[in-house]
Structure 1
Amino acid sequence: MDYQHLSTLLWREQELLDLLLFKAEEKQYLIVTGKTRWLARIAHEIEVVLDQLRTLEVERAAVTESLAVQLGLDANPSLRQVADAAPAPWNDLFGKHHEALLVLVTELRGLSDSNRGLIEGGLAALDEALLSVRAPSAGTYGASGRTTAGANRAVTLDGAL
């Protein structure tokens, strides 16, 4: 029964990782198209999926520990170790779960790095743009009620006449 339970948890983990990959791609689309209005929402949705993955990971670790005892493995075995020690057909199924999870995690890392690069590039461009734009100084008011910038211009003009 523990084999079936672990397999069910692994299927659910794959579904959640696939959903996380979809959300990461949505985030990338929003970044690339400049639709920043929705970034907070997608960040929240990603956090919800991550919370579900954390909860699932705790349950998966408990079931894996139980199987490790049954299979004579050391504590906290990897999925690959469980797959190697499990009887047929579970060994093959757990091996396939392991491969699928590796593919999903690799894709997520790549997309996450890409999104991070896009965000950092966008922030760098924004910083550059802000540095190149200087707001004109309004100056300060002098005793005559005129701005000192305006007074200086008046003095310059008076001297030229």
Structure 2
Amino acid sequence: MNANGLSTVLWRERELLELLVFKLEEQQLLLSAGKSQWLRRASDEVRGVADRLAQLGLSRAITVGPLEATEPINDQPSLQEIIDELEEPVWRDIFSAHLGSLRTLTAQVRALQEGNIGLIRAALRSTQETLAAADVDASTYDASGRSDDVPVGARLIDRDI
């Protein structure tokens, strides 16, 4: 196993996870502020970072590949398994630091993602309630093709919400 190469891949993974945390926080701020016109762009950016992370995962698997030929652990050794198998304490410390950081960043991503989903659900629920309250009686057509329009009074809708 090329420990230096794996460490480089792990650094890139950490940087991308930090970027993902930033993008999710950005998305959360947009949701909280009601700036729905920017949500598509923010979601596309989150998806782009997630795609780059997936590609980097493949790079990590390729980098770890030589480990399997010399020290059989299993098909895809976890970072903890790699740490446990390392003989050099310096690399064990470096990879342990990577693992701790990756766990922290992953927990932040998960918490932000759950928070954003909660905000989206609340906004959807609010929108559905507003639309349900505004739609008093939908017009339908009778046999002659006429609709029975019911005059509706004035409605105030706050578009800034």
- Is contact 1:139–1:148 with CA below 8 Å preserved after alignment? yes
The number of residues matched between the two structures is 147
In the other structure, the counterpart of 1:48 is 48
In the other structure, the counterpart of 1:114 is 115
Asked which structure has the greater RCO (Cα within 8 Å, sep 6+), the reply is 2
Unaligned runs of 5+ in 1: 151-161
Residue by residue, what CA displacement relative to the aligned partner does 1:8-48 show, whole Å, maximum 9, x if unpaired?
Answer: 00000000000000000000000000111111111111111
Distance 2:148 2:117 in 1: 46
Q: Return the offset for 1:74.
A: 2.5
**Structure that is richer in helix per residue:** 1
Task: Give TM-score, length-normalised by structure 2.
Answer: 0.81
Q: Quick check: 58-67 or 70-79, which moved more?
A: 70-79
Residue by residue, what CA displacement relative to the aligned partner does 1:67-109 show, whole Å, maximum 9, x if unpaired?
Answer: 2333342321110000111122111111111111011001110
Distance 2:148 2:39 in 1: 44
Task: Give TM-score, length-normalised by structure 1.
Answer: 0.81
- Is contact 1:30–1:38 with CA below 8 Å preserved after alignment? yes
In the other structure, the counterpart of 2:127 is 126
Amino acid at match of 1:114: G
Distance 2:49 2:30 in 1: 18
Distance 2:71 2:139 in 1: 78
Distance 1:148 1:83 in 2: 74
Structure 1 runs (4+) deviating above 4 angstroms are 135-140, 147-150
Distance 1:58 1:11 in 2: 15
Amino acid at match of 2:63: V
Q: Return the offset for 1:65.
A: 2.4
CA distance change for structure 1 residues 135 and 85 in 2, over 3 Å: closer, same or farther?
A: same
Is the counterpart of residue 99 in structure 1 residue 104 in structure 2? no
Amino acid at match of 1:10: L
Q: Return the offset for 1:126.
A: 0.9
Q: Return the offset for 1:54.
A: 1.0
Amino acid at match of 1:11: W
